Amino acid sequence: MNIQLDNWKVTNLNFNNSEENKNEERSFNLKVNHYFSSEISKTFELEFVIEIYDINFDIALEMLFLFETEAEITENFKLSNFPKINAPAIAFPYVRAFISNFTLQAGFEPIILPSINFVKLAGEIETKDK
């Protein structure tokens, strides 16, 4: 099945550099969701929900990625590794670049997000769901 990233956009961005909210430690939280439309059978969406707590600021970000397939999406595809592992691995470099560029353009040291092992992340999510 031919699958490609069709489009992406930032759906929510909250940036706070308040002096009152100085964090003593840096942290990074990531959640990945995928959505399948019942109306459009050849697309699916992947959502990244990210929280970054830095020494100087906080970022809450939601980004949505639209993937398009040449064939209709089946139940087997929905349960396969592609939506859980491959699609996030394809989209995540765009998230990393956006955050790095945004923080740099905002006048701070650029935040470079760590690489993510989406195979391990998918396994952890499956373990939690059982």
| pTM of the full structure | 0.87
Query: What percent of the chain stands above pLDDT 70?
Result: 91
CATH superfamily ID and name for 3-129: SecB-like (3.10.420.10)
Q: Specify the higher pLDDT residue, 24 or 105.
A: 105
Residue 58: what pLDDT? 92
Residue 125: what pLDDT? 63
Residue 40: what pLDDT? 84
3-state secondary structure the chain: CCEEEEEEEEEEEEEECCHHHCCCCCEEEEEEEEEECCCCCCEEEEEEEEEEECCCCEEEEEEEEEEEECCCCCHHHHHCHHHHHHHHHHHHHHHHHHHHHHHHHCCCCCCCCCCCCHHHHHHHHHHHHC
Q: Is the pLDDT of residue 129 over 80?
A: no
Task: Tell me the domain boundaries of the chain.
Answer: 3-129
Residue 69: what pLDDT? 92
Q: Is the pLDDT of residue 86 over 70?
A: yes
Q: What is the pLDDT of residues 38-77, one digit of tens each?
A: 888 899 999 999 999 988 899 999 999 999 999 999 999 9
Q: What is the pLDDT of residues 7-33, one digit of tens each?
A: 999 999 999 986 666 667 788 999 999
